Amino acid sequence: MSRRLKRKGLEVSCVDNGRDAIREILEGSFDLVLLDIMMPGTSGLEVLVQVRKKYSKNELPIIMVTSKGDSQDVVEALGLGANDYIIKPVDFPVALARIRAQLAQKKEFSNVSKPKFTYSLNPEEKFRHYTVKEKIGQGGMGAVYKVYDPTLDRLVALKVVLPGNELSTSQIERFTREARAIAKIKHPNILNVYEIGQSPQNYFAMDFIEGKNLSEWFQEEAATPRKIAAICAKVASALHAAHIKGIVHRDLKPSNIMIDGLGEPHLMDFGLAKMEDEDERLTRTGDILGTPEYMAPEQIDPAYGSVEARSDIYSLGVILYEALTGLAPFTGTPIRVLWQKLNQDPRQPRSINPNIPPSLEDICLKAMARQKDDRFATSEDLSEALYQEAK
- Tell me: the pLDDT tens digits for 30-67? 999 999 988 888 888 999 999 998 888 888 999 999 88
Is the preceding omega at residue 200 within 30 degrees of 0, hence cis? yes
Domain 212-390, CATH: 1.10.510.10
Extents of the domains making up the chain? 2-113, 126-207, 212-390
CA distances from 251 to 207, 269, 272, 288, 314 (A): 20, 8, 6, 11, 11
Q: What is the 3-state secondary structure (H, E, C) of 178-210?
A: HHHHHHHCCCCCECCEEEEECCCCCEEEEECCC
Q: Does domain 126-207 have CATH number 3.20.20.60?
A: no
- Is 126-207 in the same CATH topology as 2-113? no
- Architecture (CATH level 2) of domain 2-113: 3-Layer(aba) Sandwich (3.40)
Name 247's bridge partners. Answer: 275
Contacts of 147 (CB under 8 A, 6+ apart): 127, 130, 131, 132, 133, 155, 156, 157, 158, 205
Residues listed for the chain:
391
Catalytically active residues are 251
Confidence of residue 225 (pLDDT cuts 50, 70, 90): very high
Around 223, how many Cα atoms within 13 Å sit in the side-chain half-sphere?
A: 23
pLDDT digits (tens, 9 = 90+) for 7-40: 988 999 999 898 889 989 988 889 999 999 888 8
pLDDT > 90? residue 180: no
Name 63's bridge partners. Answer: 34, 84
Residues at the binding site are: 159
Residues at the binding site for ATP are: 159
Structural element, H or E, at residue 375: none
**DSSP code at position 213:** E
